[in-house]
Chain A
Amino acid sequence: GESVGLHLPTLSVQEGDNSIINCAYSNSASDYFIWYKQESGKGPQFIIDIRSNMDKRQGQRVTVLLNKTVKHLSLQIAATQPGDSAVYFCAEANSNSGYALNFGKGTSLLVT
């Protein structure tokens, strides 16, 4: 079946460095992508989303890049802070399935 996966299960970065978290998807019909942050013991928290008609979107210290050609999504966090330590999930959706989110397994980001 279709899947959303992450290249690396864990990522360790130093405070102040930029972080890049990658995500691959396989459903060519996906037209909406979203990143969530989940801190230990809490529910997922929305970070940023992007539609398939865009290739880049910026938020506060975060940028999402979408490459539809290779079905790849990335989340860039600038000047990573200790408070950014969490698990990050990408999810995809499409209008055919009523925008039901399909979550990947997550990448654990550790800021030292």
Chain B
Amino acid sequence: NAGVTQTPKFQVLKTGQSMTLQCAQDMNHNSMYWYRQDPGMGLRLIYYSASEGTTDKGEVPNGYNVSRLNKREFSLRLESAAPSQTSVYFCASSYRDTTNEQFFGPGTRLTVL
């Protein structure tokens, strides 16, 4: 049982390049989330998927797109990376019924030059 896995672990992009961050969970969770964490800050929700086939914007969705490929996988795409998107990106998943204990992946550290 691997929990939540993310790839890649590290990535450096140039301004304007695109990339997709991958996330997968093997806990049969309904809901999946993408957060970003900037230095000295808490986590801010980018997008989430309450269930397979649905996605919704979070607090900071601009510049990002997501795809809930199936129940296991939830990807985050940066179409045209900007230096302001330099951050650590975390994926999480949960059952999300009357509580919301989320399980987090190890994170992707992204630098945009």
Contact = CB atoms under 8 A, between A and B. Distances in A.
B106 A99 contact: no
A100 B40 contact: no
Contacts, number: 53
B90 interface: yes
A103 B42 contact: yes
Interface residues of B, number: 23
Interface in A92-106: 93, 95, 98-101, 103-106
A25 interface: no
A34 B104 CA distance: 14
Contacts of A34: 100-101
Interface string B57-69: 0100000000000
Contacts of A101: 45, 100, 102
Contact of A43 (B48, B90, B98, B100): B90
Interface of A: 4, 32, 34, 41-46, 49, 51, 89, 93, 95, 98-101, 103-106
Interface of B: 4, 40-45, 48, 50, 58, 90, 92, 96, 98-107
